[in-house]
A and B are shown apart, each in its own frame.
Chain A
Amino acid sequence: MYAFDYLKPSTLDDAAAALAREDAQAISGGQTLIPTLKARLAQPSALVDLTGIAEMRGIAVADGTVTIGGATCHAAVAGSAEIRAAFPALCDLAGRIGDPQVRNRGTIGGSVANNDPSACYPAAVLGTGATVVTNSREIPADEYFQGMFTTALEEGEIVTALRFPVPQKAAYAKFVQPASRFALTGVFVAKYSGGVRVAVTGASEKGVFRWAEAEAALSTEFSEGSLAGLSVPADGMIGDIHGSPDYRAHLVGVMTRRAVAAAG
């Protein structure tokens, strides 16, 4: 890797100031950034470590909302009894990201800020209509995800927390890519009194997306049978050595049904 300055601010204001430096780069768990740096594919002037900011850590469950600090690692979410009592599907999703090492370093804020098209968390954020809280504003999930590795975040903006509305029922069905164990296709289904949301990760060249037809069908009746005959077009799906667009389009249907079944 190239040389860089390393800064670990303890307040959000100090972090924002540090990120104002030219070519400064925020780092949280570093699960994507560190390999990129090792391969000399990025040359930041400074890394601004967000994990020392107290207000970005921790979990709160209250008033039908799960709030998770941006610098909270996946293992903390997976192991949280509070979240499990209210929203077990989120613990289940976090507990299946990567391996124990990844889960103890990688953070929810880092994952959501990076918006890898195969990452798991974007499916939960979009699938619940969560709110992405930053150091300057609150962004609804539907406005936040803007394509592969692209989000509504401005330069230097920090994801400080995620606020999930607790669903009546939810489940995440993940079909793993055999090598990376990212989602080859993952579907998050959440049922609310106002309707059902279905978010798909891993499959589309545009990153995480909502499957409107499935949402409409499931909002009418939340059952596997409602999905009969529904499919997403292969056009625009990712094709690579692990699966063709056709295969991924097919998996979207299979994983959606399985998520509905798992949600009960």
Chain B
Amino acid sequence: MPKDHGIGASSKRREDIRFLTGKGQYTDDINRPGQLYCHFLRSDVAHGRIAKLDTAAAAAMPGVVAIHTAQDLAAVGGVPCGWQVTDKNGEAMKEPKHPILAEGKVRHVGDPVAAILAESLEQAQDAAEAIELEIEELPAVVDMKAALSGESLVHDDVPGNLCFDWEFVQENKDAVAEAIAGAAHVTRLELVNNRLVANPMEPRAAIGEYDAARDEHTLWTTSQNPHVIRLLMGAFVLSIPEHKLRVVAPDVGGGFGSKIYHYAEEAYVTWAAKAVGRPVKWTASRSEAFLSDAQGRDHVTTIELALDAEHNFVALRCHTLANMGAYLSTFAPCIPTWLHGTLLAGNYRTPLIFTNVQAIFTNTVPVDAYRGAGRPEATFQLERVIDKAARELGLDPAELRRKNFIPPDAFPYQTPVAVQYDTGNYGATLDKALEMADAAGFAARKAESAARGKLRGFGLASYIEACGIAPSSLVGALGARAGLYEAATVRVNPTGSISVFTGSHSHGQGHETTFAQVVADMLGCDEGQVDIVHGDTNRVPFGMGTYGSRSLAVGGSAIVKSVEKIVAKAKKIAAHLLEAAEGDIQFADGQFTVAGTDNALGWGDVCLAAYVPHKYPIEELEPGLEETSFYDPANFTYPAGAYVCEVEVDPETGRVEVQNFVAADDFGNVVNPMIVEGQVHGGLAQGLGQALLENAVYDAEGQLASASYMDYAMPRAADFPSFAVDHSCVTPCTHNPLGVKGCGEAGAIGSPPALVNAVIDALSEHGVSHIDMPLTPTRVWEAIQAAKA
């Protein structure tokens, strides 16, 4: 029987009541008395010097209160980067300034040049058109290979546009080269991991307000991590002490990574509110989102897999060009390095791995983490090259994977790329996925498709990801300029209801439901007795926020620790009230009992006693029932699984139709199966969207050719079949109290290679061995034509 409450129950998402009835409170829903509207004048060219910027006429227009340019912000710092990568020579990456408003040069279409504050948005927009801006265009740096020539420089002080040249594992470089040179078989593949626009449903927005009487700043912003914004913006940009700065991230309509980062617009509205003495509100249009939200992926990779005569993987070597865009976004440098290179072992026992990553500046929107962040790129290249190797060697792709899987008895498993997997069973999820996908019946289905003139393909991929980011000491050693623990305060109210204050942030994940299930399960109370509070630095303890599938594994563990402390203290109170020894008190189902007796006390009685301490061990114990914990994980968590995709290709048009998609995931223990399933569905839609539809395309002048939904193809429900999702293969995480691993990104990580492998399988009879994503009809058709020629 499925549980109907607590851990393991598919409790309905309580937050959906307000979201589905239009009662959510998003940043743009907030209006402050006397607020001004902010509009940014943005560069419409990718690269150039600002020859003239005259705001005088615009400033005199109706309703305009102020216009600011870089020179007004001279005392303000640039947008900081939160991660420093050290290059192959031991030198720090190049970290050019990212000004709030463009200083002297514009570096991408959408780079803000001036900010206009007016009584209405229309007046601000009118004034923007009256600003005299002349830009002397410079050649745009768009293609990464061409960028390395350094003929045109995005930043004058970064030669060759090279942010860093990183090698990992450096000491394996020669051994890998030797193994590849002497291998029985080497499979080589060049591929592109296409650039994506995150496209959360809610565009970014920010409101700054300054209370002069208290000298206090407030920023409402669409953020996945308000404390991180407070720290970065307060300490590095605006020099506002943290006790004078409140950051609120209210309801947030999706992030997918793009709302992790500290953005210039947030710093500007906070600064401007004080400068003009009125609240300042900015809401991005969808067009601005395309030109200013950090984008994802954009790698160009060469990968080589070496196998011995028995088809064991003996070495792996990768070279990647990673696009940073025009400036370093908050976590950009760690994505193609530590979140990518460390995952190149995948699910396999490849002993020797070496990767070289060159991070390149271009005149494009900055690139940073997007759902999966580095791990999809690692998984895609690995699972593609394995599939290609199987095809070249005439092997069953499933068998080749199985042969090289890390076996279940090998855990904990130290990979050659720094990370140590705690647990897993990769064969189990592969078997499950193949069974669910009816692999045995494929031949008959293929024949049936062929009878209709269609090509059918069957593709699979395994994946592993490092989630629950992360042990602070480890990431500190790797260059993080922050710790990556999570904090939680559990406050038991005098009548026994519970308020949980978490540093995790929910922007679609359903924490308000899931976290309440965990607490209710531990305390034996109704979920309705538990309220989850998040998203306000004045209310919750200093926390690091939500990304990298970390909320339950790290944030949930902090909550568990606090609840454990609550129970320990409550037992002491109960022992006093029941006049028993503390060691004899047992707590279950919300009741305190004395072992071996029928003496019992309810949860409410103990809570009340804590706050009305009339009969209370006041000399030994403080009143109240409230505990705070900071949980710093001992390791990453390693969700893993196997995905199978079956497609039908129309060879006449190149159109790919996904016929069936199966995801068998090992997420460790699952708190709310319905929410987990929803997360997987969302991840699959985004992963299959990347593989089939989505593409951020820049032309040679650095204009984003796919800058609206007319040209950027978002996946829709009708594009996919109903997904078959399973999470019954469970190896619980060994190092967090809930045994959970995280489920938010898996779908986006494992699905692109499964789909591409399926399409290549379908086209194999035409001799097509690779097509770069997205596999649009035109690309598939052209690949078939090229193979025929």
- Residues in A lying within 8 Å of B, measured CB to CB: 1-3, 39-40, 175, 178-180, 184, 240-244, 247, 250-251, 254
Q: How far is the CA of A175 from the CA of B652 in the complex (A)?
A: 12
The 5 closest A-B pairs by CB, nearest first: A179-B713, A178-B713, A243-B778, A180-B710, A247-B778
- Chain B residues 699 to 737 lying within 8 A of chain A, measured CB to CB, are 705-706, 709-714
B711: contacting residue among A1, A2, A179, A244, CB under 8 A: A179
Query: In the complex, how many angstroms separate the beta carbon of B471 from the nearest chain A beta carbon?
Result: 42
A178 cross-chain contacts in B, Cβ below 8 A: 692-693, 713, 776-777
B695: contacting residue among A1, A241, A250, CB under 8 A: A241
Q: How far is the CA of A1 from the CA of B126 in the complex (A)?
A: 10
A244 cross-chain contacts in B, Cβ below 8 A: 778, 782
Task: Bits for B777-789, please: 1 = Cβ < 8 Å to A, else 0.
Answer: 1100110000000
Question: Are B706 and A241 in contact (CB-based, < 8 A)?
Answer: yes
A-B contact pairs, 26 of them (CB 8 A): A39-B287, A40-B125, A40-B129, A175-B777, A178-B692, A178-B693, A178-B777, A179-B693, A179-B706, A179-B709, A179-B712, A179-B714, A180-B709, A180-B710, A242-B776, A242-B778, A243-B777, A243-B778, A244-B778, A244-B782, A247-B781, A247-B782, A250-B781, A251-B653, A254-B652, A254-B653
Determine if B697 is an interface residue (Cβ-Cβ < 8 Å). Answer: yes
B692 cross-chain contacts in A, Cβ below 8 A: 178
- Residues in B lying within 8 Å of A, measured CB to CB: 122, 125, 129, 287, 652-655, 692-693, 695, 697, 705-706, 709-714, 776-778, 781-782
Q: How far is the CA of A257 from the CA of B69 in the complex (A)?
A: 59
Which secondary structure dominates where chain B touches chain A? loop
- The residue of chain B having its C-beta at the shortest distance from the C-beta of A180 within the complex is B710
Question: Are A175 and B653 in contact (CB-based, < 8 A)?
Answer: yes
A184 cross-chain contacts in B, Cβ below 8 A: 777
Q: How far is the CA of A241 from the CA of B776 in the complex (A)?
A: 10
Q: How far is the CA of A40 from the CA of B39 in the complex (A)?
A: 14
Known: A241-B705, A241-B711, A247-B782. A3 touches B122 (CB 8 A): yes
B653 cross-chain contacts in A, Cβ below 8 A: 175, 251, 254
Q: How far is the CA of A1 from the CA of B712 in the complex (A)?
A: 23
Query: In the complex, how many angstroms separate the beta carbon of A182 from the nearest chain B beta carbon?
Result: 8
A179 cross-chain contacts in B, Cβ below 8 A: 693, 706, 709-714
Known: A3-B122, A241-B697, A244-B782. A180 touches B711 (CB 8 A): yes
Q: How far is the CA of A180 from the CA of B655 in the complex (A)?
A: 16
Known: A178-B713, A178-B777, A179-B714. 13 other contacts (CB 8 A): A2-B122, A175-B653, A175-B655, A179-B710, A179-B711, A180-B709, A240-B711, A241-B705, A241-B706, A242-B711, A243-B778, A247-B782, A251-B653
B706 cross-chain contacts in A, Cβ below 8 A: 179, 241
Query: In the complex, how many angstroms separate the beta carbon of B110 from the nearest chain A beta carbon?
Result: 14
Q: How far is the CA of A247 from the CA of B122 in the complex (A)?
A: 43
- The residue of chain A having its C-beta at the shortest distance from the C-beta of B710 within the complex is A180
B654, B697, B705: which has the most chain A beta carbons within 10 Å? B654
Q: How far is the CA of A249 from the CA of B125 in the complex (A)?
A: 43
- The residue of chain B having its C-beta at the shortest distance from the C-beta of A250 within the complex is B781
- The residue of chain B having its C-beta at the shortest distance from the C-beta of A182 within the complex is B710
B782 cross-chain contacts in A, Cβ below 8 A: 244, 247
B652 cross-chain contacts in A, Cβ below 8 A: 254
Q: How far is the CA of A6 from the CA of B710 in the complex (A)?
A: 27
Query: In the complex, how many angstroms separate the beta carbon of B97 from the nearest chain A beta carbon?
Result: 32
Query: In the complex, how many angstroms separate the beta carbon of A39 from the nearest chain B beta carbon?
Result: 7
B697, B706, B713: which has the most chain A beta carbons within 10 Å? B713
Q: How far is the CA of A2 from the CA of B126 in the complex (A)?
A: 8
B712 cross-chain contacts in A, Cβ below 8 A: 179
B653, B655, B712: which has the most chain A beta carbons within 10 Å? B653
B710 cross-chain contacts in A, Cβ below 8 A: 179-180
- The residue of chain A having its C-beta at the shortest distance from the C-beta of B125 within the complex is A40
- The residue of chain B having its C-beta at the shortest distance from the C-beta of A254 within the complex is B652
A1 cross-chain contacts in B, Cβ below 8 A: 122
B655 cross-chain contacts in A, Cβ below 8 A: 175
B695 cross-chain contacts in A, Cβ below 8 A: 241
Q: How far is the CA of A2 from the CA of B713 in the complex (A)?
A: 29
A39 cross-chain contacts in B, Cβ below 8 A: 287
Query: In the complex, how many angstroms separate the beta carbon of A8 from the nearest chain B beta carbon?
Result: 22
Query: In the complex, how many angstroms separate the beta carbon of A2 from the nearest chain B beta carbon?
Result: 8
Q: How far is the CA of A247 from the CA of B653 in the complex (A)?
A: 9
B711 cross-chain contacts in A, Cβ below 8 A: 179-180, 240-242
Query: In the complex, how many angstroms separate the beta carbon of B309 from the nearest chain A beta carbon?
Result: 43
Query: In the complex, how many angstroms separate the beta carbon of A189 from the nearest chain B beta carbon?
Result: 17
- The residue of chain B having its C-beta at the shortest distance from the C-beta of A184 within the complex is B777
Query: In the complex, how many angstroms separate the beta carbon of B640 from the nearest chain A beta carbon?
Result: 31
A250 cross-chain contacts in B, Cβ below 8 A: 781
Query: In the complex, how many angstroms separate the beta carbon of B704 from the nearest chain A beta carbon?
Result: 11
A254 cross-chain contacts in B, Cβ below 8 A: 652-653
A2, A240, A241, A251: which has the most chain B beta carbons within 10 Å? A241
Q: How far is the CA of A247 from the CA of B786 in the complex (A)?
A: 13
- The residue of chain A having its C-beta at the shortest distance from the C-beta of B781 within the complex is A247
B125 cross-chain contacts in A, Cβ below 8 A: 40
Query: In the complex, how many angstroms separate the beta carbon of A84 from the nearest chain B beta carbon?
Result: 23
- The residue of chain B having its C-beta at the shortest distance from the C-beta of A1 within the complex is B122
A180 cross-chain contacts in B, Cβ below 8 A: 709-711
Q: How far is the CA of A40 from the CA of B44 in the complex (A)?
A: 15
Query: In the complex, how many angstroms separate the beta carbon of A178 from the nearest chain B beta carbon?
Result: 4
Q: How far is the CA of A241 from the CA of B713 in the complex (A)?
A: 11
- The residue of chain B having its C-beta at the shortest distance from the C-beta of A99 within the complex is B716
Q: How far is the CA of A184 from the CA of B713 in the complex (A)?
A: 13
- The residue of chain A having its C-beta at the shortest distance from the C-beta of B709 within the complex is A179
A240 cross-chain contacts in B, Cβ below 8 A: 711
Query: In the complex, how many angstroms separate the beta carbon of B536 from the nearest chain A beta carbon?
Result: 33
Query: In the complex, how many angstroms separate the beta carbon of B407 from the nearest chain A beta carbon?
Result: 42
Query: In the complex, how many angstroms separate the beta carbon of B229 from the nearest chain A beta carbon?
Result: 29
Query: In the complex, how many angstroms separate the beta carbon of A184 from the nearest chain B beta carbon?
Result: 8
Q: How far is the CA of A254 from the CA of B778 in the complex (A)?
A: 13
Query: In the complex, how many angstroms separate the beta carbon of B284 from the nearest chain A beta carbon?
Result: 14
Q: How far is the CA of A109 from the CA of B719 in the complex (A)?
A: 30
Query: In the complex, how many angstroms separate the beta carbon of B433 from the nearest chain A beta carbon?
Result: 27
Query: In the complex, how many angstroms separate the beta carbon of B365 from the nearest chain A beta carbon?
Result: 17
B713 cross-chain contacts in A, Cβ below 8 A: 178-179
B654 cross-chain contacts in A, Cβ below 8 A: 247
Query: In the complex, how many angstroms separate the beta carbon of A136 from the nearest chain B beta carbon?
Result: 33
Q: How far is the CA of A178 from the CA of B714 in the complex (A)?
A: 8
Query: In the complex, how many angstroms separate the beta carbon of A159 from the nearest chain B beta carbon?
Result: 24
A2 cross-chain contacts in B, Cβ below 8 A: 122
Q: How far is the CA of A146 from the CA of B713 in the complex (A)?
A: 30
Q: How far is the CA of A1 from the CA of B695 in the complex (A)?
A: 28
- The residue of chain B having its C-beta at the shortest distance from the C-beta of A178 within the complex is B713
A175 cross-chain contacts in B, Cβ below 8 A: 653, 655, 777
A1, A3, A180, A244: which has the most chain B beta carbons within 10 Å? A180
Query: In the complex, how many angstroms separate the beta carbon of A146 from the nearest chain B beta carbon?
Result: 23
Q: How far is the CA of A180 from the CA of B777 in the complex (A)?
A: 14
Q: How far is the CA of A1 from the CA of B122 in the complex (A)?
A: 7
Query: In the complex, how many angstroms separate the beta carbon of A252 from the nearest chain B beta carbon?
Result: 12
Query: In the complex, how many angstroms separate the beta carbon of A200 from the nearest chain B beta carbon?
Result: 15
Q: How far is the CA of A242 from the CA of B781 in the complex (A)?
A: 12
Query: In the complex, how many angstroms separate the beta carbon of B39 from the nearest chain A beta carbon?
Result: 11
Q: How far is the CA of A222 from the CA of B13 in the complex (A)?
A: 57
A1, A2, A40, A179: which has the most chain B beta carbons within 10 Å? A179
Q: How far is the CA of A247 from the CA of B776 in the complex (A)?
A: 12
Q: How far is the CA of A179 from the CA of B709 in the complex (A)?
A: 6
Query: In the complex, how many angstroms separate the beta carbon of A183 from the nearest chain B beta carbon?
Result: 13
Q: How far is the CA of A99 from the CA of B287 in the complex (A)?
A: 21
A242 cross-chain contacts in B, Cβ below 8 A: 711, 776, 778
Query: In the complex, how many angstroms separate the beta carbon of A244 from the nearest chain B beta carbon?
Result: 7
Q: How far is the CA of A241 from the CA of B694 in the complex (A)?
A: 12
Q: How far is the CA of A40 from the CA of B287 in the complex (A)?
A: 12
Q: How far is the CA of A56 from the CA of B677 in the complex (A)?
A: 49
B693 cross-chain contacts in A, Cβ below 8 A: 178-179
A39, A184, A247, A254: which has the most chain B beta carbons within 10 Å? A247
Q: How far is the CA of A244 from the CA of B778 in the complex (A)?
A: 8
